[in-house]
Structure 1
């Protein structure tokens, strides 16, 4: 006489189906000492809503013909989430985040706002999940659903990818040191600015403006360098800067 699922929330409310023979006319289904609510009954199955409980309890079905042998049902406490990392990423989704906590072994879903993703359980204290696409930039609540229930309390922030508009000035000496203003969009979370492959020191002035000091060229030679701005929302390339040769006499 199988029972499915064989585990559920300590708070009760799990829909459980018990299959077997001679189950018609079931008068009671007990989870330990508590009686479950019967919602459907046929000669080969009984569907019930589990009562609250803790630990492992015997489940029995009583019909006019007697009481069945017991099956085991395991109560699972609600999950606890302590941290999510990283806490933000691209609105297009696809980044992998790690959620730490406890009671995560039976996790079946992670909800980012109204969108659901399927997690990979590492162990009882950790899971990973690929972030689904967001509907737009901004924070969403993150909840984890397990056999023990759903627990909220974490937040993930979707960030739109940056864009580069203008670079002013767009040229300077190959020795570097030119203060350049880069305008664009979604620049608040800028993590790096590259001139070619060389990192440049920068300051975020606003969501649309960066102040950058050009680095020297690696070989001291003049020429164009592509600018790449990377934020928590992704990367944008464009607005080439031209390194100029110094004068000679």
Structure 2
């Protein structure tokens, strides 16, 4: 039996079927079977190359998984599995250049390799970071005027991927100082103690009643 011009290794043979190990190749080749009675007409066989991945729509997410991301690249139409470290998920093929997949839960916070398996093989090269749910402490200072504008430092853990900071549900401008500290400026608010919520790629954490708005000057 030949795949194009290359001879295949026959592993089983019956009057109605032949089992072979295909030789290496690329593209489309004709498969022919030769017997004492002659050579058959060629039947097309398609060699599929290993996939190529060019990017992830989201490079980090919660340790619990469950978020859906897109993988772009080429040669993805026959994808059967996406591996996040040791965890495996079944993708949905959108096109030869795009997959969507629900990220499985991770074993621990940190980066893992992402690989895609197709009929043509497996390709690595991308990384995805699992992020722990953050923790949030009491802002310093812990009070300020109802007019807002108080610069505060918010302590916590897992703050590097912070997406938003709110005081009683109102977004506040912020900047990440480190994984354990955020700088924020309070928005205007009603007098009284309010919750401070920080949302990261790993989820949200709330410090209940952690900041107090004081009527008047706040002194």
2:147 to 175, 183, 189: 175
Q: Which residue of 2 aligns with 1:97?
A: 69
**More moved, 231-240 vs 91-100:** 231-240
Cα deviations by residue, 1:75-119 (Å, 9 ceiling, x for unpaired): 112222111111111111111111111111111111112222111
- How far residue 216 of structure 1 moved from its aligned partner, in angstroms, is 0.7
Classify the secondary structure of the residue corresponding to 1:190. Answer: coil
Gap runs ≥5 in structure 2:
none
Does residue 108 (structure 1) correspond to residue 80 (structure 2)? The answer is yes
The aligned counterpart of 2:198 is: 229
Aligned-residue offset at 1:62: 4.4
CA distance in structure 2 between the aligned counterparts of 1:93 and 1:72, rounded to whole angstroms:
42
Structure-to-structure mapping, 1:89-238, within 5 angstroms: 89-217=61-189, 221-238=190-207
Alignment of 1:34-73 (within 5 A): 34-41=6-13, 45-62=17-34, 70-73=42-45
Task: Tell me, in whole angstroms, the C-alpha distance in 1 between the residues paired with 2:201 and 2:159.
Answer: 9
Residues 1:164 and 1:42: Cα distance change in structure 2 (over 3 Å): farther
Say if 2:208 is the partner of 1:246. Answer: no
- Tell me the distance in 2 between the aligned counterparts of 1:34 and 1:43: 23
Could you list the per-position Cα deviations for residues 12-32 of structure 1 after superposition, in whole angstroms to 9, with x for gaps in the alignment? xxxxxxxxxxxxxxxxx3222
Task: Name the TM-score, length of structure 1 as normaliser.
Answer: 0.78
